[in-house]
Every structure is written in structure tokens, then in C-alpha cells.
């Protein structure tokens, strides 16, 4: 069978100079600091979903988000796909949401923060070193 159930989501790395916008996620399934993002709604374009999610979670409106890679893993119902975007242009006033508080951090500051698992592997994709990130198992990842 070539068809499978898929859950579609996004994350967006927003960079301003040498600082990155991170969200301190409060959800139990993936806690810690990471890039903001969320689910793609039925019938919604992938690009529009990242613009909407970033506005909902941070108050910022990103302009020209660029698709830089994809992350995927298997879940009980099928496959979970995360489209990874980057953006450097934005407007609006920064604020947190029920998903978590947000702030600007340098890579040096990130070294002393409680980041989500495999954060720096994600960063390698967002910054263009690789394009695909797969969890082969809970503890095993592969980056292409």
C-alpha cells in the first residue's frame, strides 16, 4: 500500500542578526526551548500555515519564509512530517502565547539553556547544512 496517514506541521527559525527567536514549549510531549511552529490545517497551504502559526505563537508576522528542509518520524497512526522554514524579515510586536514564552538568544546563550532534544541537529538543517532529518527510532536519528 502506497498511502499512509500523515500529520503535517511546521517550525520556523527566525533570525535577527546573531540572535534566534526561541519558544520555551510547555507541552509535555516536547518540552524545552525550540523554534516556534504548529500544525497545518486541512486545506491550508504550507507557507500560509507557518505565517499563521508564527503570528499566533509570537505576535510576529514573518515575510517570505523559506522552506529549508523536512523532519519526519513515525507515529502510531502513520508518519509525522515537519516542514522547516527560515525567515529574517518580520514585523509586529513580540509576545508569548499559551504554547510558551518567546525570546531572542545567541548560540552561546543556547549552550546553557534547556533545549528540546536534538536541537543543534535541527539547527544544522535550518542553516542549510542538510535538508532531511529522520528519527529512525526514539534514540536514533539520521540527517541527510
Do β-strands 19-25 and 32-34 pair in parallel, antiparallel, or remain unpaired? antiparallel
pTM: 0.93
pLDDT tens profile 32-48: 999 999 999 999 999 99
How far apart CA 73 and CA 125 sit, in angstroms, is: 16
CATH classification of 8-143 is 3.90.79.10, yes or no? yes
Average pLDDT score, the chain: 94
Domain boundaries, the chain: 8-143
pLDDT at 136: 83
Q: What are the DSSP calls for 87-117, one per residue?
A: E-EEEE----BTTEEEEEE-HHHHTTS-BPT
Amino acid at each position: 500500500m502506497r498511502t499512509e496517514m500523515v500529520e503535517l506541521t511546521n517550525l520556523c527559525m527566525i533570525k535577527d542578526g546573531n540572535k534566534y527567536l526561541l519558544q520555551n514549549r510547555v507541552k509535555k510531549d516536547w518540552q524545552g526551548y525550540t523554534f516556534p511552529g504548529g500544525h497545518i490545517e486541512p486545506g491550508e497551504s504550507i507557507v500560509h500555515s507557518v505565517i499563521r502559526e508564527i503570528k499566533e505563537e509570537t505576535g510576529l508576522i514573518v515575510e517570505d519564509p523559506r522552506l529549508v528542509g523536512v523532519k519526519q518520524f513515525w507515529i502510531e497512526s502513520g508518519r509525522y512530517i515537519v516542514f522547516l522554514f527560515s525567515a529574517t524579515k518580520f514585523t509586529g510586536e513580540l509576545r508569548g502565547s499559551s504554547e510558551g514564552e518567546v525570546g531572542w538568544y545567541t548560540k552561546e546563550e543556547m549552550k546553557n539553556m534547556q533545549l528540546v532534544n536534538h536541537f543543534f541537529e535541527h539547527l544544522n538543517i535550518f542553516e542549510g547544512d542538510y535538508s532531511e532529518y529522520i528519527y529512525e527510532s526514539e534514540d536514533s536519528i539520521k540527517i541527510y
